[in-house]
Amino acid sequence: MAGNTARIMRRNAPEVAVDWQAVLRHMALSRALDAMEETRLVPEKKVLYQFSARGHDMAQILLGLRLDGRHDAVCGYYRSRPLLLSLGVDPEDALGSAMGRAGGYSDGRDIGVVFNHPNPNGATALPMCGGVGAQYTPTAGWAQALEFHARVLGSAEHGKSIAVVLGGDGSVASNGFWSALTMATTQRLPMLFYIEDNGFGISVASTMQTPGGNIAANLASWRGLKIFAGDGTDPAEAVQLTADAVAYVREERAPAMLRLTVPRLQGHSFQDTQAYKSEKLVQAERARDPWDKLKAFLVPSRMTAAEWDEMVQTAAETAEAARFAAEARPVAEPTTVLRHVFDDGEMQQMGGLRPAGWEPPPMSDTPRPEGQRLNMVTAIRRVLEQELASNPRMVVFGEDVGPKGGVHAVTLGLQDKFGGERVFDTSLSEEGIIGRAVGMALAGLLPVPEIQFRKYSEPATEQLNDCGSMRWRTNNRFAAPMVVRMPVGFFKCGDPWHSQTNEVAFIHSPGWKVAAPSNAEDAVGLLRSALRGNDPVIFLEHRAMLDHPWARRPWPGDDYGLPFGKARLVAEGRGATLVTWGGMVDRCLEAANGLSVDVIDLRTLMPWDRAAVLASVARTHRCLIVHEDLQTAGFGAEIAAVVASEAFTALDAPVERLTMPDIPSPHNPAFLNWAVPSVAAIRAKLEDLMGF
């Protein structure tokens, strides 16, 4: 290959230093565990998901033994157990996790092939995901965090560490791969893309994933990317390529790709019979088994046959002891699965600011109004500015948030004040924005990404869901606290692309807190609490309220912070309870004028203040829920179900909802004004309910 590509076999070069006994020890153990699962544990239904690493194993181990930086991190995928073993993961944990037993990677919550390995004093295995390609952008985020720690915070250790991501040839077709590649090369990040090319993504040939089936050849002229490529089954070639690729990233602080061809000697998973492969191909793959090549390479030049046999036998015994210990582990108490959805007071091992000892400054939920009334834009910007000034690990980023100051001007001037390392623009990839934020949070930063409009978050759905579930699925080993700012809703007009709310999707994603302030004071309190919290937060900024006169409030104080899950009673009465949030609060207040009605602004939707709503309904005996989102499966349905279930005997009328019809947001203002609940429509609905 030409240009920036290297297929390295330097016959006269000094031999790369590597502990070949360690390579054999880990590889023999990996093979013993695979064989045990396939011949015993899967047939006995003690392991439900099994992915053999045979063929991939030697090259992974050679990589793992090179990850010795103080803050090195690697993110693999479901075929990465050999790498984990080389990093020091206990085989008892590996088997126990595969069997869904207590302890291990997830306490039985996640499939055992989805690894994680918190290691504050060495190479960390970032939480893996079940989705193909989901590992790339969080790894890029870790790489960018390494540079931030080194250049901005002055940590020499971070300046010597690297980020490594493993992926198969099928994953190079994913959005995450291309987004991470763009990030790594445009930002010159210390990130190694390690591609294990076995020629198939389940049954689909690699030629369907990338033209010609060779991603290294296709990227040979990709600017800013050094490429290493060769045979991952040849010990001498694989060790040289791996050593050179890791050294390049570590020393040059620049990205590289290492593509190694390997055979997949078993099916994609245990259930896969590989019927799509010809017998000739299967035999050709077996002839490339790195196990046989490693033995020929080591025996007799580096060890005797007896030493080889002894190490293989020891590995078998280690595997059997691990199986015995793993089977002795109990299944966790089922009720424990309710723990660790959110921060519950027990500190995660890695991720966010708090494991390193950071404590948030004290806050008060008592406002101390001062100065003139501010709109929401100014209030939010002021909070961001104050928190950036007080927290050197906070970073703000997204599309157009830098010199432009965001399409809604919320971040205007912040880059000038804090610099391009802390407030910066990104490529137009929401997958990359949120995935990057995940990696940064795992590396001990506080990311505050902006998604320009609610609809634009959809390419990032996988990263958002994976981030929210991280604390739970790793049993509190990892968490990725961040605050995702996101404008929502209509403005002077609507349309299907910029005017959605659809907040219910985030509420339905476990692990995310969701704020929906209606005014500047609440925006200050909720945003400050989010930025000083220990959970990921979706912070919804309603476009119509950003400069709405009603939403303007005096500055409530530099320490003002609101708890999540505490609604505000903005009007009091006895005739009905009106529940709302965000862009509908001012309309509901106007509609209720002159009527005896409780108007409740929920302020946060996850958690939401059930107690306040139920207490109000107990007094008023009627309930109307008003929101901008669609009616079918909107969040109002959840509130209505709770009221109907828990306040049934207090009700004197059916629980009612007033919402948008089940249509996309229309563009023409006349259409929009007809579709969005109006003051007149809310008033009419209230009067009907109160007269029931």
- For residue 393, the model assigns a pLDDT of 98
Same domain, 463 and 597: no
3-state secondary structure of 434: helix
Domain boundary among 309, 326, 343: 326
Q: Are residues 46 and 109 in the same domain?
A: yes
Residues 645 and 497: their CA atoms lie apart, in Å, by 36
The predicted pLDDT at position 4 comes to 54
Residue 332 C-alpha from the chain's centroid = 25
Clarify whether residues 304 and 359 are in a common domain. Answer: no
Residue 521: inside a domain, yes or no?
Answer: yes
Among 555, 589, 621, the domain-final residue is 555
Flag whether 2 is in a domain. Answer: no
From residue 64, give the alpha-carbon distance in Å to each of 8, 68, 79, 144, 147.
Answer: 19, 8, 14, 21, 22
The pTM for the full model equals 0.95
| Backbone angles phi and psi of 352, in degrees to 5 | 80, -175
Query: Would you say 560 and 523 are in contact if contact means Cβ atoms under 8 Å apart?
Result: no
Domain residues for the domain of 417 are 354-555
Q: Considering all CA atoms of the chain, what is the largest pairwise distance in Å, rounded to the nearest integer?
A: 95
Whether 456 is in a domain gets the answer yes
* In a domain? residue 338: no
* Residue 35: predicted pLDDT: 94
Is residue 311 domain-shared with residue 215, that is, in the same domain? yes
Q: Are residues 532 and 457 in the same domain?
A: yes
Residues 100 and 42 in one domain: yes
Strands 370-374 and 553-555: antiparallel
239 and 360 housed in the same domain: no
Q: Give the pLDDT confidence of 618-632 residue by residue, as tens digits.
A: 999 999 999 999 999
- Whether 105 and 191 map to the same domain: the answer is yes
From the CB of residue 194, how many other CB atoms can be counted at a distance below 10 Å? 25
| 508 belongs to the catalytic site | no
Burial classification of residue 341, based on how many CB atoms lie within 10 Å of its CB (0-12 exposed, 13-18 middle, 19 or more buried): middle
Q: Both 539 and 578 in a single domain?
A: no
What is the pLDDT at residue 266?
87
pLDDT at 12: 52
Residue 349 maps to a domain? no
Out of 117, 498, 542, 627, pick the active-site residue: 498
Do the Cβ atoms of 576 and 647 come closer than 8 Å? no
Question: What is the β-pairing status of strands 204-205 and 200-201?
Answer: antiparallel
Domain harbouring 442, CATH code: 3.40.50.970
Is residue 138 located within the same domain as residue 280?
yes
Q: Can you list the alpha helix ranges (DSSP code H) found in 253-289?
A: 279-287
Cα separation of 192 and 40, whole Å?
36
> Tell me, what CATH number does 605's domain have?
3.40.50.920
pLDDT digits (tens, 9 = 90+) for 212-221: 999 999 999 9
Q: Which residue in the block uniquely carries the two structure tokens 């991720």?
A: 351
pLDDT value, residue 10: 47
Does residue 15 sit within a domain?
no
Same domain, 543 and 595: no
With tokens 């075929």, the residue in question is 79
Could you tell me if residue 509 is inside a domain? yes
Domain boundary among the residues 282, 310, 326 is at 326
Q: Is residue 489 a part of any domain in this protein?
A: yes
The CA dihedral of 592, 598, 599, 604, to the nearest 10 degrees, is -170
Total count of domains within the chain: 3
- Residues of the chain short of pLDDT 70, as ranges, are 1-13
**Confidence (pLDDT) at 13:** 61
The per-residue pLDDT for 492 is 87
